[in-house]
Amino acid sequence: MSRRGQLGFGVAHVLTAALLVMGVFGGLPTRWMPIDAPALLLVVLHGAAAAALIGRHTLARTIAKTAAFASLGLGLLLIALLVWSASYLSGVYGPVGRGGALIMVLIVALAAPYLVAIPAGELLWLGQGTQRVSKPAANKKP
Protein backbone atom coordinates (compact mmCIF):
# COMPACT_ATOMS: atom_id res chain seq x y z
CA MET A 1 0.00 0.00 0.00
CA SER A 2 1.30 3.45 -0.87
CA ARG A 3 1.99 5.82 2.01
CA ARG A 4 0.05 8.63 0.33
CA GLY A 5 -2.99 6.39 -0.07
CA GLN A 6 -2.77 5.25 3.53
CA LEU A 7 -2.65 8.82 4.80
CA GLY A 8 -5.45 9.95 2.49
CA PHE A 9 -7.83 7.17 3.47
CA GLY A 10 -6.78 7.46 7.11
CA VAL A 11 -7.81 11.12 7.10
CA ALA A 12 -11.05 10.17 5.30
CA HIS A 13 -11.79 7.69 8.10
CA VAL A 14 -11.19 10.39 10.73
CA LEU A 15 -13.52 12.79 8.92
CA THR A 16 -16.22 10.15 8.51
CA ALA A 17 -16.06 9.18 12.18
CA ALA A 18 -16.20 12.84 13.25
CA LEU A 19 -19.16 13.58 10.99
CA LEU A 20 -21.01 10.53 12.30
CA VAL A 21 -20.45 11.62 15.89
CA MET A 22 -21.63 15.17 15.16
CA GLY A 23 -24.55 14.12 12.97
CA VAL A 24 -25.97 11.24 14.98
CA PHE A 25 -24.92 11.92 18.56
CA GLY A 26 -24.87 15.72 18.36
CA GLY A 27 -27.56 16.47 15.80
CA LEU A 28 -30.34 14.05 16.66
CA PRO A 29 -32.38 15.22 19.64
CA THR A 30 -33.23 11.78 21.07
CA ARG A 31 -31.45 8.46 21.35
CA TRP A 32 -32.88 5.49 19.45
CA MET A 33 -31.00 2.17 19.50
CA PRO A 34 -31.64 1.19 15.82
CA ILE A 35 -29.82 4.38 14.80
CA ASP A 36 -27.28 4.71 17.61
CA ALA A 37 -25.92 1.14 17.52
CA PRO A 38 -24.95 1.09 13.80
CA ALA A 39 -23.60 4.65 14.09
CA LEU A 40 -21.46 3.68 17.09
CA LEU A 41 -20.22 0.61 15.23
CA LEU A 42 -19.21 2.76 12.27
CA VAL A 43 -17.49 5.32 14.50
CA VAL A 44 -15.44 2.59 16.19
CA LEU A 45 -14.56 0.89 12.88
CA HIS A 46 -13.60 4.16 11.19
CA GLY A 47 -11.53 5.21 14.19
CA ALA A 48 -9.70 1.88 14.23
CA ALA A 49 -9.14 2.01 10.48
CA ALA A 50 -7.79 5.57 10.71
CA ALA A 51 -5.38 4.64 13.49
CA ALA A 52 -4.22 1.52 11.66
CA LEU A 53 -3.73 3.25 8.31
CA ILE A 54 -2.00 6.34 9.66
CA GLY A 55 0.12 4.25 12.04
CA ARG A 56 1.00 1.73 9.27
CA HIS A 57 -0.16 -1.21 11.38
CA THR A 58 0.25 -4.68 9.90
CA LEU A 59 -3.52 -5.28 10.07
CA ALA A 60 -4.36 -1.94 8.42
CA ARG A 61 -5.64 -3.55 5.21
CA THR A 62 -7.97 -5.92 7.07
CA ILE A 63 -9.34 -3.25 9.41
CA ALA A 64 -9.81 -0.78 6.55
CA LYS A 65 -11.65 -3.38 4.45
CA THR A 66 -13.92 -4.23 7.37
CA ALA A 67 -14.73 -0.55 7.96
CA ALA A 68 -15.30 0.08 4.26
CA PHE A 69 -17.61 -2.93 3.83
CA ALA A 70 -19.61 -2.02 6.95
CA SER A 71 -19.87 1.61 5.87
CA LEU A 72 -20.87 0.68 2.33
CA GLY A 73 -23.53 -1.77 3.49
CA LEU A 74 -25.02 0.50 6.15
CA GLY A 75 -24.75 3.52 3.86
CA LEU A 76 -26.66 1.79 1.07
CA LEU A 77 -29.30 0.67 3.60
CA LEU A 78 -29.60 4.24 4.92
CA ILE A 79 -29.99 5.64 1.41
CA ALA A 80 -32.61 3.05 0.48
CA LEU A 81 -34.62 3.79 3.64
CA LEU A 82 -34.38 7.55 3.18
CA VAL A 83 -35.44 7.37 -0.47
CA TRP A 84 -38.36 5.12 0.49
CA SER A 85 -39.35 7.57 3.25
CA ALA A 86 -39.11 10.51 0.85
CA SER A 87 -41.33 8.82 -1.71
CA TYR A 88 -43.85 7.87 1.00
CA LEU A 89 -43.97 11.41 2.41
CA SER A 90 -44.32 12.96 -1.01
CA GLY A 91 -46.96 10.50 -2.19
CA VAL A 92 -49.14 10.33 0.90
CA TYR A 93 -48.95 13.91 2.19
CA GLY A 94 -48.79 15.76 -1.14
CA PRO A 95 -47.40 19.30 -1.07
CA VAL A 96 -46.81 19.22 2.71
CA GLY A 97 -44.89 15.94 2.47
CA ARG A 98 -42.68 17.28 -0.32
CA GLY A 99 -40.89 19.48 2.23
CA GLY A 100 -40.06 16.44 4.35
CA ALA A 101 -39.08 14.52 1.22
CA LEU A 102 -36.69 17.33 0.27
CA ILE A 103 -35.01 17.07 3.67
CA MET A 104 -34.60 13.29 3.16
CA VAL A 105 -33.04 13.85 -0.27
CA LEU A 106 -30.63 16.42 1.18
CA ILE A 107 -29.57 13.94 3.87
CA VAL A 108 -28.93 11.36 1.13
CA ALA A 109 -26.81 13.89 -0.77
CA LEU A 110 -24.77 14.63 2.36
CA ALA A 111 -24.35 11.00 3.47
CA ALA A 112 -23.63 9.35 0.11
CA PRO A 113 -20.04 10.61 -0.32
CA TYR A 114 -18.93 9.50 3.15
CA LEU A 115 -20.89 6.27 3.49
CA VAL A 116 -20.86 5.00 -0.11
CA ALA A 117 -18.43 6.75 -2.48
CA ILE A 118 -15.32 6.88 -0.27
CA PRO A 119 -15.70 3.27 1.00
CA ALA A 120 -16.24 2.02 -2.57
CA GLY A 121 -13.12 3.87 -3.72
CA GLU A 122 -11.17 2.53 -0.78
CA LEU A 123 -12.24 -1.05 -1.54
CA LEU A 124 -11.04 -0.57 -5.12
CA TRP A 125 -7.75 0.86 -3.85
CA LEU A 126 -7.29 -1.98 -1.37
CA GLY A 127 -8.08 -4.54 -4.05
CA GLN A 128 -5.29 -3.25 -6.28
CA GLY A 129 -2.60 -4.43 -3.88
CA THR A 130 -3.66 -8.06 -3.89
CA GLN A 131 -1.86 -10.40 -6.19
CA ARG A 132 -3.64 -13.27 -7.78
CA VAL A 133 -1.77 -16.50 -8.01
CA SER A 134 -2.76 -18.68 -10.91
CA LYS A 135 -2.72 -22.40 -10.53
CA PRO A 136 -0.39 -24.32 -12.80
CA ALA A 137 -2.08 -26.32 -15.50
CA ALA A 138 -2.60 -29.96 -14.58
CA ASN A 139 -0.40 -32.41 -16.42
CA LYS A 140 -2.51 -34.23 -18.92
CA LYS A 141 -1.57 -37.64 -20.16
CA PRO A 142 -2.09 -38.17 -23.89
State pLDDT tens for residues 16-53. 999 999 999 999 899 999 999 999 999 999 999 999 99
| pLDDT for residue 113 | 94
Question: What is the 8-class DSSP label of residue 130?
Answer: -
CA distance 139 to 142: 10
Contact 24, 39 (CB under 8 A): yes
Q: What is the mean pLDDT of the chain?
A: 90
Q: Which residues contact 13 (CB under 8 A, 6 or more apart)?
A: 46, 47, 49, 50, 53, 64, 67
The residue-averaged pLDDT of 76-97 equals 93
Amino acid at 118: I
| pLDDT for residue 36 | 95
Under the banding of pLDDT at 50, 70 and 90, the label for residue 124 is very high
pTM for this prediction: 0.82
Is residue 139's pLDDT more than 70?
no
Is residue 92's pLDDT more than 80?
yes
Under the banding of pLDDT at 50, 70 and 90, the label for residue 128 is confident
